[in-house]
Amino acid sequence: MWDVAREGAVVIATYAHPPMNYYTDAALEQLEGLIDAWLDDDDARVVVLTGGADGRFITHFDVDEILRNQEKGDSIFEAPKRSRRAQALTRRLHELPQPVIAAMNGDTMGFGFELSLAADLRVAQRGDHRIGLPEVRLGLTPAGSGLTRRPSSSGAPARWTSSCARRS
Range of 53-62, 131-140, 153-162 with top mean pLDDT: 53-62
- Is residue 96 within 8 A of residue 47, CB to CB? The reply is yes
**pLDDT, tens digit, for every residue of 65-84?**
877 776 766 565 666 677 78
How big, in percent rounded to 5, are the helix, strand and coil portions of the chain?
A: 45, 25, 35
- Is residue 13 within 8 A of residue 46, CB to CB? The reply is no
Long-range contacts of 63-68 (CB under 8 A, 24+ apart): 63/22, 65/22, 65/24, 65/25
Spatial distance between the Cα atoms of 58 and 111, rounded to a whole number of angstroms: 7
Q: What structural domains and CATH numbers belong to the chain?
A: 2-167 (3.90.226.10)
pLDDT of 156 higher than 60 = no
Widest pairwise Cα distance in the chain: 59
Looking at residue 73, what is its pLDDT?
61
Burial of 112 (0-12, 13-18, 19+ CB in 10 A): buried
Cis ω for the linkage preceding 151 (within 30 of 0): no
| Band of residue 134 on the pLDDT scale cut at 50, 70, 90 | confident
Name the residue with higher pLDDT: 138 or 150. 138
- Is residue 38 within 8 A of residue 98, CB to CB? The reply is yes
